[in-house]
Amino acid sequence: MFPELFDTRSFREAIDRSADWVVTNWGATIEAAFSPLLRGLVLLEQGLLWLPWYVLIGAVCGISFLITRNVKLPLGVGILLFLIGAVGFWDDCVRTIALMLAATLVSLAIGIPFGIAMSLSLTVRTIMRPLLDIMQTMPSFVYLIPAVMLLGPGKVPALLATVIYAVAPVMRLTDLGIRQVDPDVVEAVTSFGAGDWQKLIHAQLPLALPTIMAGINQTMMMALSMVVIASMIGAGGLGYQVLQGIGRLEVSRGLLAGLSIVALAIVFDRIAQAYGRRMQTSLHMNDE
Amino acid sequence: MRIGLALAATLGLWLTSGDVVHAADCGSADEISITELNWPSGAFFANLHQIVLSKGYGCNATLTPGDTASSTASMAARGKPDINPELWVDNVKDFWAKVTAEKKVYAAGHPVIEGGIEGFFIPKYVAEAHPDLKSITDLAKFKDLFPDPADPSKGVLYTCQPGWSCEVLIANMAKAFKLDSTFNLFSPGSSAALDATIVKAYQRKEPIVTYYWAPTPLLGKYPMVRLEMPPYVEGTCNNDKNCTSPKPSDFPPGKIVTAVSTAAKDKAPGPAKYLAAFTIKNQVVSQMLAWADDNKATPADTAKQFLKTHEEIWTKWVPADVAARVKAGL
Amino acid sequence: MNNTAKPKIVCRDIFKIFGKTPAKALELAARGVSRADILSQTGNVVALRDISFEMAAGETFVIMGLSGSGKSTLIRHFNRLVEPTSGSITVDGEDIVAMGKARLREFRRRKVSMVFQNFGLLPHRTVLDNVAYGLLMQGRPKAEQRERAAYWISQVGLAGYEGHYPRQLSGGMKQRVGLARALAGEAEILLMDEAFSALDPLIRGEMQEQLASLQKELGKTVVFITHDPDEAMLLGDRIAILREGSIQQIGTPEQILLEPANDYIARFVKSVNRARFLTAGQVMISFPVLAEKGLTREAACAAMADSNVDHVFVTRDGALAGVLTKDALQESSKGTGGIHVTTSCKTSMPLEQVTPLIARSSLPVAVVDLEGRVVGGLTRAVTLRSIGELTARSSA
């Protein structure tokens, strides 16, 4: 038995009291600050739900055809999405896609600038690294429940949790990608009088793009893997079906919903990979 | 120790009437496993059982963490754990019908005297500020008091956890009470999220209307008022997902049982008697849970606190020698 | 090269220390403590030590050294890709170490351009856009960028490749793009960091010729880094030899070849094809030159004895007529024994081209200046000794 060195109760009470204080005094303000985000999320979800299913599937197939110029990927993607609809999860699937896309966009908006800052500054990197480790390993519920207390249940805390979990890969790989850029190219650009911003735009970002794209893909996958957790705080979607399956001890429902999440993951992974390959070709970087 | 046990057994024989020779020991059971449920009352009951069975009856009583879904699945499949101390039968109707028919599991007793209470609750401060809001039928008029942040034209009614029977029931009730045009039903996705939602409202004194149930520490801690409902009507299809004509009706009386495996009953008749006698008032349970919350006590601490402070209740469940050993063990 | 003009680039007392405590290492380096000792005492690396020299406008200045000698570090001081730990660098009288960020960018855009060993091309941009990069940085209008870039692409012989991407080009072609990019901005100073080292020998030769001919037209101030002595001799007006961060010698290619300051340099340039870089004028010895008119046996004998040589060149109307040999003088009891016809070469002729002339005859070859006056001669022995001189000296 580990000796009780000090009484943690008062310590824990202090934490709880300060959390309560924040919820009581700042909750309404913070919730109001996030309400535009909620409206955006609702709009995105309703927009996607408003589209007839065949239009949405067609659009995804069309995008994948434009990327690959090949019928294999669009065909596979179309079949997978059709199957998800066929087992009765179309609306939940669309909700999950909406949340995943929104979380990915927010993650990119945060992750790429921070990744750039990490690549340029050792200080930022030293601070961000452990922070990213915490964000990826801290069980989500630890911060989710306080987030629900602050923001109420639903899409906003789900989005935040997903972003916290999914932002790390794109941040890490942006950092890595930029630091791996051929120093000769950066030096050459500098020698012609490029400023920091021009260096970034002309050389570092385009050359790091394939690595950043891999990060975006991973971020998307991790966002998808959060759908069940997100549903546990009221985000709905395919994760909700999984929870219902668990709650009712319906193995079939849980399995089908789980497989649908896997199918979605495959769809987006393959599209993102194909896009990454296409970009690499159009950047003419295969042999460099 | 062994002599002490033997003596105690003799005493037990002397104190109890009838033919139960082994009333004060654990019978032939090697191990009695108890689901330590992941909500406060369930964990409290589980720890009470664990202390009484191990200290009082000398059983090898173990706690297994779990929730309703995992423990029922495991009970049906493997006959373990032996005891689910707080099973809401209506939430797992099909499972319950099946296992009781197969005689794998039986309802040993009712841990909460009044049974579970389910309903739609509003905080006391809302009830005081809006005396007109008394019943579920008043709710539609108050939709603007509870706006849905995602759809402000409607109110939001927080419903129950995904997969629980109340989910379907509430969806049908909303139709029956004609709330579906004025309110959105919103499931917070988990008990933790629902609790957090209520705490959030309470701390900011915001209006909220939500499904909730007792016994729970939350209702012990935050005074909530249950909206009145018309009487319970038998034989509606409100429980059915495909119900076409739901009827206005209260929640069915919440049947909570101590679910025990038949195998454990056969092997350990003494403990089985205790489990049958075990029952506590809803109010007492909620009080204990609120005490635990305020003192940051573990479920085991709470169980000990109960055993120390509520002798008048629990000594009725066990023979005197068992009670003496439990007291000595505290 | 114009020696009377103000120097284009002046380096004074440059020290460069890599490490965490440069101040301490700098002090030791200034006191002359060795590189290895400074490294073991302070953990800092002395990359450059006490570098001072001047460069004239239009000069091609070669910095030669082995890898690790600090030559790539040094060249990066001239556009401040590397900052000196101490010392000053002025270009056209302006101290570039003191420049602020904005002024430095402007300086890099207008004054100096660089060619890199590994090309440093932007892989996602076409040849045209790569060549136009310096012009883009200068903020020139789009049309002008394209026009000038296209001109320089054709100047380096890549017309038709404007739309290609770097990965579609061979190494030599990539470096032509690098050269065109550096030339397009019309900077007065061209820095070339081992620009041709990554290319195979045949292409390297072509590029060297191309640079030499472009330089003849453009007259830029070129700083050229190489580890290849042949390349240094071929391209350099002057050569600085760097070893462990210190300059060992600065001089013209002849000075380096013929008067190496120390053994290290002698060993370094040992492998150089001397016949290619030494000229007849540099290695010739003096011979008596007598006019044919009124030439006597006695006069010829006296001249040979005075100069301690066996031959006398004879001129007719100021131009070379032939050569008298000691043997011929001795065989014939009277008279001069006849003038043997011999060949001549210009003072600027590389020994490489003199050797076939020497090989054809046993007579000395006369060396004549631009006006055709005989200024000296080359015997087989002298020529061969000059070519093999260093080999002999270093083995001695």
Q: What is the pLDDT of residues C8-26, one digit of tens each?
A: 899 999 999 998 888 888 8
> Are both C266 and C320 inside the same structural domain?
no
Q: Please provide the DSSP assignment of C98-144 as one string.
A: T--HHHHHHHHHHTEEEE-TT----TTS-HHHHHTHHHHHHT--HHH
Domain span at A235:
18-287
* Token reading at C321: 């007529």
Contact C79 A191 (CB under 8 A): yes
Q: Of the candidates C272, C293, C326, which is a domain's last residue?
A: C272
d(CA C249, CA C234): 17
* Residue among A180, A191, A281 with most chain C CBs within 10 A, to mutate: A191
**Does residue C1 carry a pLDDT above 50?**
no
* Residue C284 phi, psi dihedral angles, 5° rounding: -60, 155
**Does residue C128 carry a pLDDT above 90?**
yes
Radius of gyration for chain B, computed over Cα atoms and rounded to the nearest angstrom: 22
The answer as to whether C320 is a domain residue is yes
The CATH number of whichever domain residue A281 belongs to comes to 1.10.3720.10
> Are both C249 and C333 inside the same structural domain?
no
Considering chain B, what percentage of its residues have pLDDT values greater than 70?
93
The answer as to whether A121 is a domain residue is yes
The answer as to whether A9 is a domain residue is no
**Residue B179: DSSP 8-state:** -
Residue A287: which pLDDT band, with cuts at 50, 70 and 90? very low
Residues 36-65 of A with CB under 8 A from B: 38, 42
Helix (H) or strand (E) holding B63: strand B61-66
The answer as to whether C326 is a domain residue is yes
**Does residue C5 carry a pLDDT above 70?**
no
> Are both C191 and C239 inside the same structural domain?
yes
Question: What domain count does chain A have?
Answer: 1
pLDDT at A284: 67
Averaged pLDDT, A91-103? 92
The answer as to whether A223 is a domain residue is yes
- A-chain CB neighbours of B151 within 8 Å are 42
> Are both C212 and C317 inside the same structural domain?
no
CA–centroid distance for B212 within its chain: 12
Averaged pLDDT, B100-120? 87
Q: Of the candidates C241, C272, C303, which is a domain's last residue?
A: C272
Residues 204-243 of A with CB under 8 A from C: 206-207
**pLDDT 10s digits, C175-196:** 999 999 999 988 999 999 988 8
The CATH number of whichever domain residue C235 belongs to comes to 3.40.50.300
Domain span at C286:
281-389
- C-chain CB neighbours of A285 within 8 Å are 123-124, 167
Q: How many other C-beta atoms lie within 10 A of the C-beta of residue C68?
A: 14
**Does residue C2 carry a pLDDT above 60?**
no
ipTM score assigned to the predicted complex: 0.81
The Cα-based distances of C57 to B185, C11, C187 in angstroms read: 83, 14, 12
Mean pLDDT rounded to a whole number for chain B: 84
User: Does C have 3 or more CB contacts under 8 Å with B?
Assistant: no
The answer as to whether A22 is a domain residue is yes
User: Does C have 3 or more CB contacts under 8 Å with A?
Assistant: yes
Kindly report each contact of residues C94-100 with a partner whose C-beta sits within 8 Å and lies 24 or more positions away, as own/partner. Answer: none
User: What's the per-residue H, E or C state across A42-102?
Assistant: HHHHHHHHHCCHHHHHHHHHHHHHHHHCCCHHHHHHHHHHHHHHHCCCHHHHHHHHHHHHH
> Are both C364 and C330 inside the same structural domain?
yes
**pLDDT 10s digits, B172-207:** 998 888 888 899 999 888 888 898 899 888 888 889
The answer as to whether A7 is a domain residue is no
> Could you tell me if A22 lies within 8 Å of chain B, comparing CB atoms?
no
* Token reading at B266: 């056969």
* Residue recorded with tokens 């499949």: B77
Mean pLDDT rounded to a whole number for chain A: 88
- C-chain CB neighbours of A283 within 8 Å are 123-124
d(CA C343, CA C273): 24
Which pTM was predicted? 0.77
**pLDDT 10s digits, B121-164:** 999 999 999 988 888 888 888 889 999 888 888 999 999 888 88
d(CA A242, CA A235): 13
Contact between B245 and B175 under an 8 Å Cβ cutoff? The reply is no
Helix (H) or strand (E) holding A114: helix A90-120
The Cα-based distances of A209 to A167, C45, C115, C225 in angstroms read: 17, 35, 26, 33
Residue B305: which pLDDT band, with cuts at 50, 70 and 90? very high
> Are both C261 and C316 inside the same structural domain?
no
A neighbours by CB contacts (3+ pairs under 8 Å): B, C
Contact B72 A249 (CB under 8 A): yes
Beta-sheet pairing, C60-65 with C221-226: parallel
* Residue among B75, B98, B190 with most chain A CBs within 10 A, to mutate: B190
- Which of B73, B188, B199 lies at the smallest CB-CB distance from A233? B188
- Which of C118, C137, C167 lies at the smallest CB-CB distance from A192? C137
Q: State the nearest Cα–Cα gap between A1 and chain B, in angstroms.
A: 16
Residues in chain B: 330
Nearest of C85, C73, C162, C72 to residue C125 by alpha carbon: C162
* Residue recorded with tokens 């070339």: C192
Q: How many other C-beta atoms lie within 10 A of the C-beta of residue C395?
A: 7
Mean pLDDT rounded to a whole number for chain C: 86
pLDDT at C392: 41
**pLDDT 10s digits, C347-359:** 888 888 888 888 8
Question: What domain count does chain C have?
Answer: 2
First to last CA, chain C: 37
**pLDDT 10s digits, C25-46:** 888 888 888 888 889 888 889 9
The answer as to whether A4 is a domain residue is no
Query: What residue type is C105 in one-letter code?
Result: R
- Which of A185, A192, A202 lies at the smallest CB-CB distance from C109? A192
Q: State the nearest Cα–Cα gap between C81 and chain A, in angstroms.
A: 7
Three-class SS state of A29: helix
pLDDT at B207: 92
Contact A23 B190 (CB under 8 A): no
- A-chain CB neighbours of B206 within 8 Å are 28
Contact A243 B200 (CB under 8 A): no
Q: How many other C-beta atoms lie within 10 A of the C-beta of residue B144?
A: 12
pLDDT at C336: 64
pLDDT at C4: 53
pLDDT at B165: 79
